[in-house]
Structure 1
């Protein structure tokens, strides 16, 4: 009984380390711009490069997860992530840093899918929403830790000093993964699986593609707020980067609780996507209000930014669980890797395109466009999952 909760906590810790590496660059953007003398759009491009590495490699990682198991995959991923983060100290200029950030994303991607598959094996369907909600709470917790530490480190010691946060986390979690990241005895994930034993592909049905599509659409508002909230507070409201980081860190705590609550809600409702529909619609309203907030009411804009951050981060656990349950355990590793790959399209392109939009029309335009993607997700959402 207690072992499954230990495995869940380990999956959370491993994902915090991985997410800090993948998305922590956003919390060092002001220092990154100053260090390299680049525009906000160029800095946003650098912030999206780990997601590009993620996108290029995740489907291959999914096969590794299903064939060789979660512990092997997570161990290799965390080891390579720490190695590539260490290489940042040896490169100069934005081009060199960008190349290494692509490698960081390529190495760090499978922890999310492998940890999710591990938790799926330890918890029954009636508790899975809760368990996956706890595990997906790693994202706001990881972002909160990064937001609390990385802006101050970047401001005082430079960009590489900030990236020591995910490096240290990866090294700290690695031995725990080696010791404890094992599936339950009855789970099929411990041994390699031959191609002949794998059931027919769930990708012959439309339902799983629609869930992937919803997740991609909701990734746009999520990564718009994640990437540019700190810069918005600094440039449009005159906040210090460290103070803005602390605010975004504080938002992550209710964000983690919201994912947990959404998981429990989905268990009791018997549907994963019903709650997602409500969350997406609420996020659209919040982002529209943020885009329309007048400069004369800066306090209202800050509150709406925090609410928007909370809502746009709350759907991940539910869509992730919906994809895995639709695919079935034999395909769960690949399905969750595909989910992460398609989300990586959003997390790669959103910082680049929204950065260009912000440079052209300002932050309100970007928040308004992000709201439209929430609406599109509500329209695209299947009703049976």
Structure 2
């Protein structure tokens, strides 16, 4: 893509706008779980109802991800980024009128549908504005928005809610999202028409994408790695407290460290791919996956005698790898699909990832419950990542559009 010098300088500003928009949506999406104890207490929700509400929020993302990607391909990413953020904000503010489970359920479903717009549209923006030689780095920067939004939500929303109530906290987050949506609407610009004409890859539908072996391979990869991420997030703190005898505060500190390393990893692996692997994504993803396997196996060997220093090191490296591959992967998918259908391909990948998130953590927990040990679960997870890497090796990066 040949961009003028001025456009070349502006692209980082447009990336900043798109990233802020996704941060605002992540604050809402990941902030709701942080407010669940207060919501549950006020609305007298059962644990089953809490679980259903969490599921319906993520189900909305699964249902709408592909449609959001197709909309970004058809109407352009600017409108989808802007209206998606504004819709999230308005829906979050609408939760002020929730009176119980029956009213929260449809509202959270709508919120999930709106949240689904963020990743396909934002990733298409990166695919359109950035050349392959720096796309991995740019995609990593944009993907920082999700954990960054989660961190902001965890640090601010509970404190605001304890003082002013959870409804006010969500209204505040919603106002932020509406503001970021308006900023995207008026400040973000799409790549020049000349670069649109130069976009690569054939225009195909969902069926055409799935018929490509490369796309099927990366969908399997993201199903496993997406699920593995949430096994890490859901069970690491429990594992450290139950197996190593760490205090909840120390275990939470390790989990936070892993998430911070994951944020850094999203930029680091993209930069590594751009600068040292000639913008080839597959070799970098294979390196990341192999290191994740080693760290997962090392984690399985923890015992009450494991020092906190060693645990910090392993958890940090596991976060760097297992939580840090997302930006690089999305750059890979957009390039394999071709920028004309990048939004739809990324939406399809989001669906695959969320299916993995729904499927793998319960299996991990089932293994722990029935073996009375975390070790078989961690080893099994490492084995599944190895299978995913074996499938990824079949991707022909040099022959992107073949069936």
TM-score (norm 2): 0.80
Corresponding position of 1:374: 385
Task: Report how far residue 313 of structure 1 moved.
Answer: 1.4
CA contact (8 A) 2:18 2:81 kept: no
Corresponding position of 1:291: 300
1:142 corresponds to 2:149: yes
Match of 1:56 among 48, 60, 63: 63
1:149-298 → structure 2 map (5 Å cutoff): 149-150=156-157, 152=159, 160=167, 163=170, 166-186=173-193, 198=203, 201-229=208-236, 237-240=246-249, 248-267=255-274, 268-270=276-278, 271-297=280-306
TM-align CA RMSD: 3.5
1:70 corresponds to 2:77: yes
Work out the number of aligned pairs and report it. Answer: 377
1:323 corresponds to 2:324: no
1:334-353 → structure 2 map (5 Å cutoff): 334-350=344-360
CA contact (8 A) 1:8 1:135 kept: yes
Change beyond 3 A, Cα 1:282–1:57: same
After superposition, give the CA deviation of every residue in 1:63-108 in whole Å (9 maximum; x if it has no partner): 2111111111122211221122223333344565444322211111
Change beyond 3 A, Cα 1:185–1:210: same
Change beyond 3 A, Cα 1:29–1:378: farther
Corresponding position of 1:117: 124
Rounded Cα–Cα distance in structure 2 between residues aligned with 1:168 and 1:232 = 38
Greater radius of gyration (CA): 2
After superposition, give the CA deviation of every residue in 1:152-196 in whole Å (9 maximum; x if it has no partner): 556777765664574244123112111122212136669xxxxxx
After superposition, give the CA deviation of every residue in 1:5-38 in whole Å (9 maximum; x if it has no partner): 1011112111222233333444456666767575
CA contact (8 A) 1:17 1:166 kept: yes
Paired residue secondary structure (1:79): helix
Corresponding position of 2:95: 88
Change beyond 3 A, Cα 1:173–1:298: farther
Task: Report how far residue 254 of structure 1 moved.
Answer: 3.2
What 5-or-longer segments of structure 1 have no aligned partner?
A: 191-196
Rounded Cα–Cα distance in structure 2 between residues aligned with 1:25 and 1:234 = 25
Paired residue secondary structure (1:321): helix
What 5-or-longer segments of structure 2 have no aligned partner?
A: 1-7, 398-403
Task: Report how far residue 277 of structure 1 moved.
Answer: 1.4
Rounded Cα–Cα distance in structure 2 between residues aligned with 1:369 and 1:93 = 40
CA contact (8 A) 2:69 2:120 kept: yes
Rounded Cα–Cα distance in structure 1 between residues aligned with 2:158 and 2:371 = 26
Deviates more, 1:154-163 or 1:208-217: 154-163
After superposition, give the CA deviation of every residue in 1:24-56 in whole Å (9 maximum; x if it has no partner): 4444566667675755x8756543432210111
Deviates more, 1:79-88 or 1:160-169: 160-169
TM-score (norm 1): 0.83
Change beyond 3 A, Cα 1:346–1:265: same
1:4 corresponds to 2:15: no
Rounded Cα–Cα distance in structure 2 between residues aligned with 1:52 and 1:247 = 29
Task: Report how far residue 139 of structure 1 moved.
Answer: 2.6
Task: Report how far residue 310 of structure 1 moved.
Answer: 3.0
Task: Report how far residue 265 of structure 1 moved.
Answer: 1.6
1:31-46 → structure 2 map (5 Å cutoff): 38=46, 46=53
CA contact (8 A) 1:15 1:138 kept: yes
CA contact (8 A) 2:209 2:337 kept: yes
After superposition, give the CA deviation of every residue in 1:322-380 in whole Å (9 maximum; x if it has no partner): 11111112111111111112112123344555566666667836544433332222122
